[in-house]
Amino acid sequence: MPETSPFVVDADWLQSRLGAPGLSIVDASWYLPAQKRDARAEYDAAHIPGAIFFDLDRVVDPDSNLPHMLPRPGIFAQHVGPMGISADDTIVVYDGPGFFSAPRVWWMFRTMGVYQVYVLDGGFDRWRADGRLVTAEPTKTAPNVFYPNFDASGVASLEDMRSIVETASSQIADARSPGRFAGTDPEPRPGIRAGHMPGARNVPYSALSQNGELLPLERLKEVLEGAGIDLSKPVVTSCGSGVTAAVITLALESLGHTNNRLYDGSWTEWGAQADTPVAKD
Protein backbone atom coordinates (compact mmCIF):
# COMPACT_ATOMS: atom_id res chain seq x y z
CA MET A 1 0.00 0.00 0.00
CA PRO A 2 1.30 3.49 -0.85
CA GLU A 3 2.17 5.61 2.17
CA THR A 4 -0.51 8.18 2.94
CA SER A 5 -0.78 11.40 4.93
CA PRO A 6 -0.79 11.14 8.73
CA PHE A 7 -3.31 14.01 8.77
CA VAL A 8 -6.02 12.19 6.82
CA VAL A 9 -8.53 9.61 8.06
CA ASP A 10 -10.80 7.44 5.98
CA ALA A 11 -14.54 6.92 6.25
CA ASP A 12 -14.23 3.53 7.97
CA TRP A 13 -12.06 5.09 10.68
CA LEU A 14 -14.56 7.84 11.32
CA GLN A 15 -17.66 5.66 11.10
CA SER A 16 -16.28 3.30 13.74
CA ARG A 17 -15.84 6.24 16.12
CA LEU A 18 -19.12 8.12 15.66
CA GLY A 19 -20.41 9.22 19.05
CA ALA A 20 -17.11 8.62 20.82
CA PRO A 21 -16.33 11.05 23.65
CA GLY A 22 -13.70 13.63 22.79
CA LEU A 23 -14.40 13.42 19.05
CA SER A 24 -15.55 16.58 17.28
CA ILE A 25 -16.69 16.38 13.65
CA VAL A 26 -16.63 19.63 11.71
CA ASP A 27 -18.39 20.29 8.40
CA ALA A 28 -16.15 22.96 6.86
CA SER A 29 -17.80 23.02 3.45
CA TRP A 30 -17.52 26.30 1.54
CA TYR A 31 -17.94 26.98 -2.15
CA LEU A 32 -17.16 29.58 -4.76
CA PRO A 33 -20.20 31.11 -6.52
CA ALA A 34 -19.22 29.31 -9.72
CA GLN A 35 -19.65 25.95 -7.95
CA LYS A 36 -23.34 26.70 -7.41
CA ARG A 37 -23.50 24.90 -4.06
CA ASP A 38 -24.88 26.29 -0.80
CA ALA A 39 -22.79 24.80 2.01
CA ARG A 40 -25.13 25.73 4.86
CA ALA A 41 -28.24 24.50 3.04
CA GLU A 42 -26.52 21.21 2.23
CA TYR A 43 -25.47 20.79 5.86
CA ASP A 44 -29.03 21.47 7.06
CA ALA A 45 -30.35 18.85 4.61
CA ALA A 46 -27.80 16.16 5.46
CA HIS A 47 -24.56 15.84 7.41
CA ILE A 48 -22.52 13.22 9.22
CA PRO A 49 -24.17 12.47 12.59
CA GLY A 50 -22.67 14.70 15.26
CA ALA A 51 -21.11 17.16 12.82
CA ILE A 52 -21.05 20.88 13.57
CA PHE A 53 -21.14 23.45 10.77
CA PHE A 54 -18.08 25.72 10.60
CA ASP A 55 -18.85 28.86 8.59
CA LEU A 56 -15.66 30.04 6.88
CA ASP A 57 -17.33 33.36 6.10
CA ARG A 58 -18.08 34.02 9.79
CA VAL A 59 -15.05 32.70 11.67
CA VAL A 60 -12.88 35.55 10.45
CA ASP A 61 -11.07 38.67 11.60
CA PRO A 62 -13.91 41.18 12.16
CA ASP A 63 -11.53 44.11 11.66
CA SER A 64 -10.39 43.10 8.18
CA ASN A 65 -12.13 43.90 4.91
CA LEU A 66 -10.43 40.91 3.31
CA PRO A 67 -12.28 37.57 3.08
CA HIS A 68 -11.41 34.64 5.35
CA MET A 69 -8.68 36.37 7.36
CA LEU A 70 -7.64 34.34 10.40
CA PRO A 71 -9.26 35.79 13.54
CA ARG A 72 -7.31 36.61 16.65
CA PRO A 73 -7.08 33.64 19.05
CA GLY A 74 -9.72 35.04 21.42
CA ILE A 75 -12.19 35.60 18.58
CA PHE A 76 -11.55 32.09 17.26
CA ALA A 77 -12.20 30.68 20.73
CA GLN A 78 -15.46 32.64 20.97
CA HIS A 79 -16.64 30.92 17.79
CA VAL A 80 -15.55 27.32 18.38
CA GLY A 81 -16.19 27.07 22.14
CA PRO A 82 -19.97 27.32 21.64
CA MET A 83 -19.63 24.58 19.00
CA GLY A 84 -18.65 22.29 21.87
CA ILE A 85 -15.05 21.96 20.68
CA SER A 86 -12.11 21.70 23.07
CA ALA A 87 -8.45 22.08 22.14
CA ASP A 88 -7.97 18.59 23.60
CA ASP A 89 -10.50 16.97 21.25
CA THR A 90 -9.74 14.78 18.29
CA ILE A 91 -11.18 16.85 15.45
CA VAL A 92 -12.15 15.51 12.02
CA VAL A 93 -12.86 18.14 9.38
CA TYR A 94 -14.64 17.49 6.11
CA ASP A 95 -16.06 19.32 3.11
CA GLY A 96 -18.14 18.17 0.17
CA PRO A 97 -15.58 17.16 -2.47
CA GLY A 98 -12.78 16.16 -0.09
CA PHE A 99 -9.88 18.60 -0.39
CA PHE A 100 -11.18 22.07 -1.09
CA SER A 101 -12.08 24.04 2.05
CA ALA A 102 -11.56 21.42 4.80
CA PRO A 103 -7.76 21.82 4.82
CA ARG A 104 -8.21 25.52 5.59
CA VAL A 105 -10.08 24.71 8.81
CA TRP A 106 -7.54 21.95 9.56
CA TRP A 107 -4.85 24.64 9.26
CA MET A 108 -6.79 27.10 11.41
CA PHE A 109 -7.10 24.60 14.26
CA ARG A 110 -3.42 23.69 14.01
CA THR A 111 -2.45 27.36 14.04
CA MET A 112 -4.52 27.71 17.22
CA GLY A 113 -2.59 24.88 18.88
CA VAL A 114 -4.71 21.80 18.11
CA TYR A 115 -2.69 18.92 16.69
CA GLN A 116 -5.17 16.04 16.91
CA VAL A 117 -6.96 17.36 13.83
CA TYR A 118 -7.53 15.44 10.61
CA VAL A 119 -9.26 15.75 7.23
CA LEU A 120 -11.76 13.13 6.04
CA ASP A 121 -10.59 11.45 2.83
CA GLY A 122 -13.25 11.48 0.13
CA GLY A 123 -15.28 14.19 1.84
CA PHE A 124 -19.01 14.14 2.45
CA ASP A 125 -19.83 13.49 -1.21
CA ARG A 126 -18.05 10.12 -1.03
CA TRP A 127 -19.48 9.39 2.44
CA ARG A 128 -23.00 9.86 1.13
CA ALA A 129 -22.41 8.06 -2.16
CA ASP A 130 -21.22 5.03 -0.20
CA GLY A 131 -24.55 4.91 1.63
CA ARG A 132 -23.13 5.78 5.03
CA LEU A 133 -25.30 7.22 7.78
CA VAL A 134 -26.37 10.85 7.40
CA THR A 135 -28.87 12.96 9.28
CA ALA A 136 -30.74 16.26 9.01
CA GLU A 137 -31.10 16.45 12.79
CA PRO A 138 -29.44 19.51 14.30
CA THR A 139 -26.36 18.53 16.28
CA LYS A 140 -26.73 19.41 19.95
CA THR A 141 -23.54 20.02 21.88
CA ALA A 142 -22.77 21.49 25.26
CA PRO A 143 -20.68 24.67 25.01
CA ASN A 144 -17.03 24.21 25.81
CA VAL A 145 -14.13 26.50 26.65
CA PHE A 146 -11.54 26.52 23.90
CA TYR A 147 -8.05 27.51 25.04
CA PRO A 148 -6.03 28.55 21.98
CA ASN A 149 -2.25 28.27 21.82
CA PHE A 150 -1.61 30.49 18.82
CA ASP A 151 1.43 29.86 16.63
CA ALA A 152 2.05 33.01 14.60
CA SER A 153 4.99 31.40 12.78
CA GLY A 154 2.61 29.65 10.38
CA VAL A 155 1.06 32.88 9.07
CA ALA A 156 2.57 35.27 6.51
CA SER A 157 1.49 38.92 6.18
CA LEU A 158 1.57 41.35 3.26
CA GLU A 159 4.76 42.85 4.67
CA ASP A 160 6.31 39.38 4.85
CA MET A 161 5.39 38.74 1.24
CA ARG A 162 6.84 42.04 0.02
CA SER A 163 10.15 41.01 1.55
CA ILE A 164 9.95 37.45 0.21
CA VAL A 165 9.23 38.62 -3.34
CA GLU A 166 12.08 41.13 -3.16
CA THR A 167 14.67 38.81 -1.64
CA ALA A 168 13.48 35.34 -2.79
CA SER A 169 14.03 34.21 0.81
CA SER A 170 11.21 31.67 0.51
CA GLN A 171 9.49 29.80 -2.28
CA ILE A 172 5.90 30.77 -3.08
CA ALA A 173 3.42 28.03 -4.01
CA ASP A 174 0.21 29.39 -5.54
CA ALA A 175 -2.82 27.06 -5.43
CA ARG A 176 -4.97 28.91 -7.97
CA SER A 177 -5.84 27.50 -11.38
CA PRO A 178 -3.24 27.77 -14.16
CA GLY A 179 -5.37 30.37 -15.96
CA ARG A 180 -5.62 32.66 -12.95
CA PHE A 181 -1.95 32.14 -12.13
CA ALA A 182 -0.90 33.08 -15.67
CA GLY A 183 -3.27 36.05 -15.74
CA THR A 184 -5.17 34.73 -18.76
CA ASP A 185 -8.36 34.15 -16.75
CA PRO A 186 -10.01 37.04 -14.92
CA GLU A 187 -10.07 37.21 -11.15
CA PRO A 188 -13.51 36.46 -9.63
CA ARG A 189 -13.37 39.50 -7.33
CA PRO A 190 -13.62 43.04 -8.72
CA GLY A 191 -10.62 45.34 -8.52
CA ILE A 192 -8.06 42.54 -8.35
CA ARG A 193 -5.30 42.48 -10.96
CA ALA A 194 -4.60 39.28 -12.85
CA GLY A 195 -1.35 37.36 -12.59
CA HIS A 196 0.91 36.13 -9.78
CA MET A 197 3.69 37.19 -7.45
CA PRO A 198 7.07 37.27 -9.20
CA GLY A 199 8.94 34.02 -8.59
CA ALA A 200 5.84 32.08 -7.52
CA ARG A 201 5.26 28.51 -8.65
CA ASN A 202 1.84 27.22 -9.63
CA VAL A 203 0.62 24.18 -7.67
CA PRO A 204 -3.11 23.98 -8.43
CA TYR A 205 -4.86 22.60 -5.34
CA SER A 206 -6.82 20.19 -7.53
CA ALA A 207 -3.57 18.47 -8.59
CA LEU A 208 -3.02 17.24 -5.02
CA SER A 209 -6.07 14.98 -4.82
CA GLN A 210 -7.89 12.55 -7.06
CA ASN A 211 -11.52 11.46 -6.77
CA GLY A 212 -11.76 13.30 -3.46
CA GLU A 213 -8.74 11.53 -1.94
CA LEU A 214 -5.40 13.12 -1.11
CA LEU A 215 -2.64 11.66 -3.26
CA PRO A 216 -0.23 9.17 -1.64
CA LEU A 217 2.94 10.76 -0.29
CA GLU A 218 5.15 9.77 -3.19
CA ARG A 219 2.77 11.34 -5.69
CA LEU A 220 2.41 14.51 -3.57
CA LYS A 221 6.19 14.79 -3.68
CA GLU A 222 6.18 14.35 -7.47
CA VAL A 223 3.54 17.06 -7.97
CA LEU A 224 5.28 19.58 -5.73
CA GLU A 225 8.75 18.93 -7.13
CA GLY A 226 7.34 18.89 -10.66
CA ALA A 227 6.04 22.41 -10.05
CA GLY A 228 9.53 23.52 -9.08
CA ILE A 229 9.20 23.37 -5.29
CA ASP A 230 12.39 22.37 -3.45
CA LEU A 231 11.20 20.51 -0.35
CA SER A 232 14.46 21.23 1.47
CA LYS A 233 13.74 24.98 1.49
CA PRO A 234 11.03 27.20 3.08
CA VAL A 235 7.69 27.61 1.34
CA VAL A 236 4.83 30.10 1.62
CA THR A 237 1.48 28.94 0.27
CA SER A 238 -1.03 31.27 -1.33
CA CYS A 239 -4.25 31.19 -3.37
CA GLY A 240 -7.20 33.52 -3.91
CA SER A 241 -8.31 34.20 -0.34
CA GLY A 242 -6.31 31.81 1.82
CA VAL A 243 -8.63 28.78 1.55
CA THR A 244 -7.11 26.39 -1.00
CA ALA A 245 -3.56 27.46 -0.08
CA ALA A 246 -4.08 25.17 2.90
CA VAL A 247 -4.35 22.18 0.55
CA ILE A 248 -0.70 22.77 -0.35
CA THR A 249 0.11 23.32 3.33
CA LEU A 250 -1.47 19.97 4.15
CA ALA A 251 0.55 18.29 1.39
CA LEU A 252 3.78 19.86 2.65
CA GLU A 253 3.15 18.90 6.26
CA SER A 254 2.21 15.38 5.16
CA LEU A 255 5.66 15.09 3.61
CA GLY A 256 7.33 16.27 6.80
CA HIS A 257 7.97 19.79 5.48
CA THR A 258 7.38 22.03 8.49
CA ASN A 259 9.20 25.20 7.36
CA ASN A 260 6.11 26.66 5.73
CA ARG A 261 3.70 29.52 6.18
CA LEU A 262 0.34 30.43 4.66
CA TYR A 263 -0.15 33.89 3.20
CA ASP A 264 -3.52 34.72 4.74
CA GLY A 265 -4.41 37.71 2.53
CA SER A 266 -3.34 35.78 -0.58
CA TRP A 267 -4.05 37.14 -4.05
CA THR A 268 -7.12 39.12 -2.96
CA GLU A 269 -4.78 41.29 -0.89
CA TRP A 270 -1.71 41.28 -3.12
CA GLY A 271 -3.60 41.87 -6.36
CA ALA A 272 -5.53 44.80 -4.89
CA GLN A 273 -2.45 46.84 -3.98
CA ALA A 274 -1.33 49.61 -6.29
CA ASP A 275 2.37 49.02 -5.74
CA THR A 276 2.87 45.25 -5.53
CA PRO A 277 4.68 43.68 -8.49
CA VAL A 278 2.66 41.31 -10.65
CA ALA A 279 3.98 38.78 -13.16
CA LYS A 280 2.18 37.08 -16.04
CA ASP A 281 3.42 34.04 -17.94
Contact 210, 182 (CB under 8 A): no
Is 40 a known active-site residue? no
C-alpha distance from residue 55 to each of 83, 97, 211 (Å):
11, 16, 24
By the 10 Å C-beta count (0-12 exposed, 13-18 middle, 19+ buried), 57 is classed as exposed
User: Quick check: helix, strand or coil at residue 251?
Assistant: helix
- The answer to whether 119 touches 94, Cβ cutoff 8 Å, is yes
User: What is the distance between the alpha carbons of residues 151 and 153, in angstroms, rounded to a whole number?
Assistant: 5
Q: Report CA 223 to chain centroid distance, whole Å.
A: 18
C-alpha span between 25 and 91 (Å, rounded): 6
H or E, element range at 201: strand 201-202
Catalytic residue among 239, 245, 247, 250: 239
Contact 18, 50 (CB under 8 A): yes
Catalytic residues: 239
